[in-house]
Amino acid sequence: FLADRLGKPLLVEGPAGVGKTELAKAVAQVAGARLVRLQCYEGVDESRALYEWNHAKQLLRISAGRDETWDEARTDIFSEEFLLPRPLLTAIRGDDPKVLLIDETDKADVEVEGLLLEVLSDFQVTVPELGTVTASRRPFVVLTSNATRELSEALRRRCLFLHIGFPDAELERRIVRLKVPGIDAALAASVVRVVGALRAMDLRKAPSVAE
């Protein structure tokens, strides 16, 4: 509610498989918004996160117009038609409602955080050849993290923080019954009880809601 009203990104942390990613999908579904997802991984960079030029198409365009001067060709190949928008740019363009999911933010390299900061504070992106794109309608932003590393102070400060832990038994029964329609109530309850007991044991990994 606050993230929506304040227009602030929501940073969701918690153990694996408790519904962090699911939360963004649910918000998109309830709001009738399009989900735009940036999956973070080690090595994700500007060309994967923001935009990239379609080099193959640019080359084809250049060889198709052999008699043109360089100036003519240049202005043409750096136009909208040759741009490949990636999730961050996609999320701030257009007027339709969107939910931007920046998933597993902690897996990305620290440099990507600089990029996120820029986009999440101003909701604008500058493509040198085309100019600055400013969001006419801000997306609802959800960042998720398993806290394998601390995100930078600057990024955390711009977000509202939500921790999702393991649900209590009553909530978990409701989740199971939602995800397995028609399941016998007694069976759902005993599954939840067994999983709860496993979580209390000293295991290398506690079973998640997903499991």
Span of 14-22, 53-61, 147-155, 186-194 interacting with ligand ATP by CB under 6 A: 14-22
Residue with tokens 């008699």: 67
Residue nearest to ligand ATP (CB): 19
Any contact of residue 21 with Mg ion (CB under 5 A)? Answer: yes
Distance CA 81, CA 61 (A): 11
Q: Which is nearer to ligand ATP, 14 or 85 (CB)?
A: 14
Q: Where are the alpha helices (DSSP H) in 43-123?
A: 46-49, 55-64, 70-77, 87-92, 110-122
CA atoms within a 13 Å half-sphere pointing along the CA-CB vector of 207 = 15
To Mg ion, the closest distance from the beta carbon of 31 in angstroms equals 19
* Range 135-174, binding ligand ATP (CB under 6 A): 144, 146
Q: Are strands 98-103 and 131-134 parallel, antiparallel or unpaired?
A: unpaired
Q: Are strands 10-13 and 140-145 parallel, antiparallel or unpaired?
A: parallel
- Please tell me what DSSP assigns to residue 129: T
**Pattern 171-190, binding to ligand ATP, x per CB under 6 A?**
----x---x-----------
**Pattern 20-49, binding to ligand ATP, x per CB under 6 A?**
xxx---------------------------
Point out which residues bind ligand ATP (CB under 6 A). 16-22, 144, 146, 175, 179, 209-210
Point out which residues bind Mg ion (CB under 5 A). 20-21
